[in-house]
């Protein structure tokens, strides 16, 4: 049985990763991720984790090194944030094309400029098309559970893809929360040893990362797209199995008081918890409000999303990033596209919120509901605005 302890979330995540018996980690320091790297290196230094901890000289090399080690057949881990993730950007689609099951924590943080070290989702959004499975945690326990489950999903023989576990910077990474850490025996029972599809070893000399001309490139892209789409089945299975073994189960889309709701709000990451309180407050006033939490960003959970919003009149999509000069926030445009062909779909409103660590109180969430409810002509549907911006 695992024990319930009070831990900073980064430390809890590092402990969880150590329970997965990684062979190698390559991590470069960046706020607010660094505590993961520090705690992992402590565990190695104290002999509690038998792994090579490579102190790379950049995030680009962090991703390069874990790609190399994964190709050699090792179970690998890295973590980053913001500018570090942007520096890795080049390598992310290569890791997924090579089908290397790398697990990475992203302590989500605003992207420069100007420099800002606080939380939003502008780092992960530009990685949308990298071919990585992307999941979002709402609290410390989820960060632990989803991190361990990530290894199992990534390494499943029908998946073999990298996974990012998104954990809001500071708002989540630096919270001290009560967390149940599973025991080593429990994790060993849950997570089988990594069996790679190919390895860099002289006993069977293979070539990885071969060059492709137009004769094969389309087929390779199609195969990668099918691979990530097919990972959905394994993600559902692994999260169900986690639920059976540990009593906490996860779904690609989760809802709160949504069944009979006229008006829904969609969040990703840690702000779901504040939004929940706003929902309760609105329900207390007789507003039939509900919450939809998007946990799985890639592969996009189309069926689950459609089912979750099918009865609502209005849907407020919150975005933690901007698509400058685009159709609205990145999540908003995906949701609109997902619902476009539905015969009956809610009017969709978009608020860009909580940029660069801007605090979002319960009253802010209530305020968004109030605005949307007041919009009887639905004049503001299908457009976006920056919540709380000084005019």
Partner 1 sequence: MNIVENFDLFAPRLINKKELFSCGHRACSGCAEVLSVRLMCKALGDDTVVASATGCMEIVSSMFPTTAWRIPWIHVAFENAAAVASGVEAGLKALRKKGKIDDRYIKVVGMAGDGGTMDIGIQALSGAMERGHDMIYVCFDNEAYMNTGIQRSSGTPMGASTTTAPAGKASSGQKTWKKNMPEIMVAHEIPYVATVCPSYPLDFIRKFEKARNIKGPSYIHCFSVCPTGWRSPSETAVSMGRLAVETGVFPLFEVESGHYRMSPDMPKKLKPLRSYFKPQGRFRHLTDAEIDAIQERVTAEFNKLTQKAKFL
Partner 2 sequence: MALKTWKELPIGCVVFEPGSASEYHTGSWRSQRPVWDDAKCIKCGICYVFCPEGCVQQGEDGFFKADMNYCKGCGICAHECWPRAIKMVEEG
Q: Find the part of the chain contacting partner 1 (CB under 8 A) among 22-30, 115-123, 288-296, 301-309.
A: 22-30
Q: Does 203 bind partner 2 (CB under 8 A)?
A: no
Q: Pick from 67, 66, 143, 80: which is nearest to 111 by CA?
A: 80
219 binds, among partner 1, partner 2, none (CB under 5 to 8 A by kind): partner 2
Phi and psi at 106, nearest 5°, equal -120, 115
Q: How far is CA 338 from CA 133, 135, 244, 300, 307, in A?
A: 18, 18, 31, 9, 11
Q: Find the part of the chain contacting partner 2 (CB under 8 A) among 119-127, 187-195, 216-224, 243-251.
A: 216-224
The residues facing 24 across adjacent strands are 52, 76
Exactly one of 9, 18, 26, 27 binds partner 1 (CB under 8 A); that residue is 26
User: Widest CA span of the chain, in angstroms?
Assistant: 70
Q: Does 209 bind partner 1 (CB under 8 A)?
A: yes
3-state secondary structure of 262: coil
Q: Which is nearer to partner 1, 64 or 171 (CB)?
A: 64
Q: Find the part of the chain contacting partner 2 (CB under 8 A) among 172-180, 220-228, 314-322, 365-373.
A: 220-228
State the burial class of residue 198 (Cβ atoms within 10 Å of its Cβ: 0-12, 13-18, 19+): middle
x/- track of binding to partner 1 for residues 32-71 (CB under 8 A): ------------------xxx-xxxxx-xx--xxxxxxxx
Q: Which is nearer to partner 2, 100 or 368 (CB)?
A: 100
Q: Does 216 bind partner 1 (CB under 8 A)?
A: yes
Q: Which is nearer to partner 1, 96 or 350 (CB)?
A: 96
Q: How far is the CB of 198 from partner 2 (least distance, A)?
A: 4
3-state secondary structure of 384: strand
290 binds, among partner 1, partner 2, none (CB under 5 to 8 A by kind): none
Q: Are strands 3-8 and 176-181 parallel, antiparallel or unpaired?
A: antiparallel
The position carrying tokens 């698509």 is 323
Q: Which is nearer to partner 1, 131 or 290 (CB)?
A: 131
Q: Does 214 bind partner 2 (CB under 8 A)?
A: no
Half-sphere exposure of 226 (CA within 13 A, CB side): 7
Q: Does 375 bind partner 1 (CB under 8 A)?
A: no
Both tokens of residue 233?
């089945």
The CA distance from 248 to 225, in Å, is 30
Both tokens of residue 122?
């502008």
The CA distance from 30 to 38, in Å, is 11
CB 154 within 8 A of CB 133: yes
Q: Does 162 bind partner 1 (CB under 8 A)?
A: no
Residues that bind partner 2 (CB under 8 A): 97-100, 160, 197-198, 204-208, 210, 212, 215-216, 218-220, 222-223, 226
Residues that bind partner 1 (CB under 8 A): 23-24, 26, 50-52, 54-58, 60-61, 64-74, 76, 90-91, 94, 98, 199-203, 205-213, 216, 220
């Amino acid at each position: 049985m695992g024990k319930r302890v009070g831990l900073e979330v980064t430390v809890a995540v590092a402990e969880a990763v150590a329970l997965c018996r990684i062979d190698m980690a390559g991590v470069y320091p960046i706020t607010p991720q660094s505590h993961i790297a520090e705690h992992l290196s402590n565990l190695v230094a104290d002999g509690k984790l038998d792994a090579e901890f490579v102190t790379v000289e950049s995030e680009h090399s962090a991703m390069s090194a874990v790609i190399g080690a994964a190709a050699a057949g090792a179970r690998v881990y890295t973590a980053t944030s913001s500018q570090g993730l942007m520096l890795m950007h080049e390598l992310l689609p290569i890791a997924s094309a090579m089908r290397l099951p790398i697990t990475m924590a992203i302590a989500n943080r605003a992207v420069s400029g100007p420099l800002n070290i606080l939380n939003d989702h502008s780092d992960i959004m530009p990685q949308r098309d990298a071919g990585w499975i992307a999941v979002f945690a709402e609290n410390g326990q989820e960060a632990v559970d989803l991190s361990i489950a990530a290894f199992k999903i990534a390494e499943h023989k029908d998946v073999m893809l990298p996974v990012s576990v998104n954990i809001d910077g500071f708002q989540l990474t630096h919270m001290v929360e009560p967390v149940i850490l599973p025991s080593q025996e429990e994790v060993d029972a849950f997570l089988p040893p990594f069996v790679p599809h190919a390895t860099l070893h002289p006993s069977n000399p293979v070539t990885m990362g071969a060059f492709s001309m137009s004769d094969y490139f389309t087929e390779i892209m199609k195969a990668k797209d099918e691979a990530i789409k097919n990972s959905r089945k394994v993600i559902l299975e692994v999260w169900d199995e986690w639920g059976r073994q540990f009593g906490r189960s996860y779904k690609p889309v989760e809802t709160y008081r949504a069944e009979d709701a006229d008006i829904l709000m969609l969040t990703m990451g840690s702000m779901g918890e504040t939004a929940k309180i706003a929902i309760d407050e609105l329900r207390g006033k007789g507003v039939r409000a509900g919450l939809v939490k998007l946990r799985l960003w890639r592969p996009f959970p189309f069926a689950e999303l459609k089912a979750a919003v099918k009865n609502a009149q209005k849907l407020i999509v919150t975005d933690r990033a901007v698509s400058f000069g685009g159709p609205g926030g990145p999540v908003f445009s995906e949701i609109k596209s997902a619902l476009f062909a539905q015969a009956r779909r809610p009017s969709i409103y978009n608020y860009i919120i909580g940029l660069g660590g801007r605090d979002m109180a319960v009253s802010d969430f209530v305020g968004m509901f109030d605005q949307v409810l007041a919009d009887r002509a639905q004049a503001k549907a299908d457009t976006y605005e920056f919540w709380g911006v000084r005019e």
